Amino acid sequence: MMKLLVIDGNSILNRAYYGIKLLTTRDGRYTNAIYGFLAIYLSLLEQSKPDAVAVAFDVKAPTFRHGLYAGYKAQRRGMPEELAQQLPVLKELLSAMGIALAEAPGWEADDILGTLAALDGDCVLATGDRDALQLVDGRVQVWLAATKMGRPETRKYDPAAVLEEYGVTPRQLIEVKALMGDSSDNIPGVAGIGQKTAQALVARFHTIDELYNNLEDPMIKPAQRQKLEQDRENAFLSRELGTIRRDAPVPIGAAHYVPKPPDAAKVTRMLAELEMFKMIERLRLPEVPVKEEALSVRPLAEEFDLEALLTRLRQAGKAYFMPGFADGLLETVLFAEPGQDSLVTCGNLAFTGFLQALLEDSGIRKYTCDTKLLWHFCETQGIVPQSIAFDTTLAAYLRSPAASGYAPARLLREYGCADFSALCKTLERELRENGQYALFEATELPLAGVLASMERFGVAVDSALIERFGDELEARIHELTQEIIHHAGVIFNPNSPKQLGEVLFGRLGLRAPKKTKTGYSTNAEVLEGLRGAHPIIDCILEYRTHAKLKSTYCDGLLKVVGSDGRVRSTLNQTETRTGRLSSSEPNLQNIPVRTALGRELRRCFVARPGWLLVDADYSQIELRVLAAMAGEEIMLRAFREGKDKQDIHTLTASQVFGLPPEMVTPMMRSRAKAVNFGIIYGIGAFSLAKDIGVGFREAQDYIDSTFERYPRIRAFRAGLIEKAKTLGYAETLFGRRLPLPELSNSQRQLREFGERVAVNMPIQGTAADIIKAAMVRVSERLKAEGLRARLILQVHDELIVEAPEEECAAVAALLKEEMESAVTLGAPLEVDVHIGKSWFDAH
């Protein structure tokens, strides 16, 4: 007796598609349903441990049920195109994996499940469709499988579970459907008989035959009797339509469904093309779609002639190599040479000397990967690299900014290259063809060295001040806890969403949001919506602010302070989709600055004795980019005339409210500022109304008035969306691209999301390109002028340099000059520079 797992292919694929956010490959092929299906499949295998597996699929053709009832599934829409594209790919992939597919024209997947469930042995039917519950018996379980928050989730049904949930046996579910019908399949049932009534009638009479034989039973109300009599034919028709057949023409020998050995090469190649590299690992498949020699290496004996290798590289004028790092340490370097690969190991006695000679030779152009890590190594060894010409990591990031990784082995498979040299040439060619090489060469490549230096240098913090600030926060947290308990009238844990929900919406009776399976939501959006409803709300919001500052920033920073009193963050160059840098461990770019309390934390970031911090901040860079890209002359004129940076918002307010600038009130200016920045982010009237505390209609009037005064911005936004729809991607002024498959999605919400990104990515991404270019220019200028000052922090639109006191004036002038001249726009760039002992003082 074998255990059989039968998967309802269409149903599970559909659940996976809607349960996982839209995913695409770099060339625009949709993959989320395939990925979700495979994740569910692996979960089912692990849980059920079957001997045989079948995946049943519907065939696009009329079934015998359409012959019985012309309206059967008549209202069903076809698959979304994004899902339909993935179905044949999944079938081909499953076949290559050795999994048997079962399908038959004129029959539904449900009928195939019913047929295979009738075989001897235990059977698990995996589906997302509850219709299959009628098949449950002592041998057969139905597992309702889906994805939730991107993770597989399964609910298992045996006869007892069906009876507990529905009050009838599995076979009696057919009778229930006969009475209540099924709107999703357009099965009519008996008009006016719902699920609750149908279950009660079937629990009493067991079948519709017995029900109709006993219509005079006093349990049946007169109105119900009339409905049953009127739709008798529909009831029996619905039972026939809803009954899963067990005689579909598919192979019925269980041995037919024992998995065959997979075509490992094909499966791996297909998954690599779909960019599902983690799935390759989960399926434990060999990585074979590229030539085996591309990644094969051989340890070298100590007498290996490094000098001969260096001579060959000098003669070639190029070196293609992949450094091998482990825990930040360089262990090996694999050189891709014609006819052979040469692995130089750290154990070789001449290793460092060889690398120094190679890396400092300006006559050898270096084609490599992970150059930021390479720069780290060089700094530890006193090596000054020359002629770093290419980094596959950064090049692949520019080509596919949404990818989950850029390791050489993955890129070799993804781009179908035979070796590392070919990968470098392919990526370089694509960058040039797409107009991205200048951005790569002038900005991203040198920036890796700048970031490595910043990471190694770090930023000094005053640990004692952090501790004092943390103690002050802790004291206020205790006070707020007592105030919250006083308002609640009961002792509870404010950190527990469940307990807080019970207090707010149960005990205090505040207007409750929709209740979820885990209880009431008490997130920030919900609490903000309750401001003014009860004094406890302000206390809770303040409590959360203080608790976040204490745990994340005070306690968190103290844990990562080095022995020299400095904090070193990892600066991520290939993480965001828009080109912005991010930082982690700790995240210094997320230091809160919008509140006075959050800004106090900046006092803890200081310069060492005898040094100061020089802070240079771009003034309204995204608005300047917007004005320049849109060609909006009114805004451009304001920027060109060199007015105070606040005046652009005053100007907008005067335009919107029809008043002279001198009559604009602070409130008017504040609302105009919200609209100005809202334009960048594609904000709608609903969100703007919440942000500035006005009604929806008033917020919409502000937006409409702003577009009336700045007509080119409205046209520019519409043009960006149309351009992105045509090209399939959004693009910055400097050629950075972001694919936007969402724009062609059949779901309105995803299309609208894509449209918002199509508008804000070119602006935000261009601003990111500018700040990166400025970082490179500032770093190179500091070195060129022999200054000891070092660039230590980049946070959004500001750069921070730590400089000896005697260099500060020169550094301030240098920062302003290099940042303002980093690029040429239609609107001039303006930089504000301040100097202080702490980050707070210098801002």
The model's pLDDT over 545-570, given as tens digits with 9 standing for 90+, comes to 999 999 988 999 999 999 999 999 99
The gap from C-alpha 802 to its chain's centroid, in whole angstroms, comes to 35
More confident residue, 558 or 184: 558
Residue listed under structure tokens 């200048």:
438
- Tokens of residue 359, six digits: 């890396």
722-728 mean pLDDT: 94
pLDDT of amino acid 38:
95
pLDDT of amino acid 149:
65
Give the end-to-end CA distance of the chain in Å, rounded to a whole number.
75
Kindly tell me if the per-residue pLDDT of 671 is higher than 90.
Answer: no
Kindly tell me if the per-residue pLDDT of 300 is higher than 50.
Answer: no
Kindly tell me if the per-residue pLDDT of 287 is higher than 70.
Answer: no
119-134 mean pLDDT: 93
Kindly tell me if the per-residue pLDDT of 343 is higher than 80.
Answer: no
Q: Which domains does the chain have, with CATH numbers?
A: 1-167+251-281 (3.40.50.1010), 171-243 (1.10.150.20), 303-458 (3.30.420.10), 582-623+735-843 (3.30.70.370), 624-734 (1.10.150.20)
pLDDT of amino acid 755:
92
Name which of 274-283, 474-483, 803-812 the model is least confident about.
274-283
Name which of 112-116, 582-586, 600-604, 658-662 the model is least confident about.
658-662
User: Cα separation of 503 and 509, whole Å?
Assistant: 8
pLDDT of amino acid 637:
87
pLDDT of amino acid 643:
56
- Tokens of residue 741, six digits: 């498959």
Q: Across the chain, what does the average pLDDT equal?
A: 89
**Closest by Cα among 146, 142, 145 to 134:** 142
Q: What is the per-residue pLDDT across 531-540, written as a single tens digit (0 to 9) for each?
A: 889 999 999 9
Q: 297 falls in which pLDDT band (50, 70, 90)? A: very low
Kindly tell me if the per-residue pLDDT of 163 is higher than 80.
Answer: yes
Percentage of the residues of the chain whose pLDDT score is greater than 90 = 60
C-alpha dist (Å) from residue 101 to 1, 111, 130, 265, 274? 21, 14, 22, 20, 21
Kindly tell me if the per-residue pLDDT of 683 is higher than 70.
Answer: yes
pLDDT of amino acid 703:
81
Q: What is the per-residue pLDDT across 196-240, written as a single tens digit (0 to 9) for each?
A: 999 999 999 999 999 999 998 988 989 999 999 999 999 999 999
Q: 289 falls in which pLDDT band (50, 70, 90)? A: very low
pLDDT of amino acid 757:
92
Most confident by average pLDDT, 45-59, 686-700, 739-753? 45-59
User: Cα separation of 817 and 699, whole Å?
Assistant: 39
Kindly tell me if the per-residue pLDDT of 646 is higher than 80.
Answer: no
Q: 292 falls in which pLDDT band (50, 70, 90)? A: very low
pLDDT of amino acid 370:
94
pLDDT of amino acid 596:
84
What's the pTM value of the predicted model, to 2 decimals? 0.78
Q: What is the per-residue pLDDT across 461-515, written as a single tens digit (0 to 9) for each?
A: 999 999 999 999 999 999 999 999 999 999 999 999 889 999 999 899 988 876 6
| CA dihedral over 245, 251, 257, 261, signed as positive or negative | negative
Q: 72 falls in which pLDDT band (50, 70, 90)? A: confident
109-121 mean pLDDT: 92
Kindly tell me if the per-residue pLDDT of 1 is higher than 80.
Answer: no
pLDDT of amino acid 349:
65
SS3 105: coil
Q: What is the per-residue pLDDT across 392-428, written as a single tens digit (0 to 9) for each?
A: 999 999 999 988 889 998 898 888 888 899 999 999 9
Most confident by average pLDDT, 75-89, 295-309, 560-574? 560-574
pLDDT of amino acid 457:
94
DSSP-H helix ranges across 642-742: 647-657, 666-681, 685-692, 696-709, 711-727
Kindly tell me if the per-residue pLDDT of 645 is higher than 50.
Answer: no
pLDDT of amino acid 18:
87
